[in-house]
Amino acid sequence: MYELLVGLEVSNDEMYSDYRSAIKPLLKLFGGRFGFDLVVSEVLHSDVDEPINRVFTIQFPSQTDAEAFFSDSEYLKVKTQYFDASVSNTTIISSYERAT
């Protein structure tokens, strides 16, 4: 399983929730799912200057599936409509193969 650990600065919670709802069927189509999902109240240390208030993992059967999902034209439409307007910063903290 391929997993990404992602940090975001969500600036509009309602619109970000709409984004999550809109991508759910697409994510399932590519074999993906969210693992952990945390709202962060305080960051004690960060390797980047951008603020983070949300941390989550997103999992796919393979890196190829993840890349196909994030480049899919339907996903990109949803991203433009909801994600870009609700997230100020995105930080990929890590990506890795995870034993299942």
Report, as an integer, the average pLDDT of 16-33.
97
* Number of separate domains in the chain: 1
- Domain span at 29: 2-53+67-97
In a domain, 42, yes or no: yes
Query: Domain of 81: which CATH number?
Result: 3.30.70.100
> pLDDT tens for residues 27-80?
999 999 999 999 999 999 999 999 999 999 999 999 999 999 999 999 999 999
pLDDT higher than threshold 80 for residue 100: no
Position 72 in a domain: yes
The pLDDT assigned to 8 comes to 98
Has residue 59 been placed in a domain? no
Q: Does some domain include residue 33?
A: yes
CA-CA distance, 9 to 89, in Å (whole number)?
Answer: 5
Task: Give domain status of residue 34, yes or no.
Answer: yes
* Residue 60 is assigned to a structural domain of this protein: no
Domain annotation covers residue 11 = yes
- What burial class does residue 34 get, using C-beta atoms within 10 Å of its C-beta: 0-12 exposed, 13-18 middle, 19+ buried? middle
Q: pLDDT confidence of 99, banded at 50, 70, 90?
A: confident
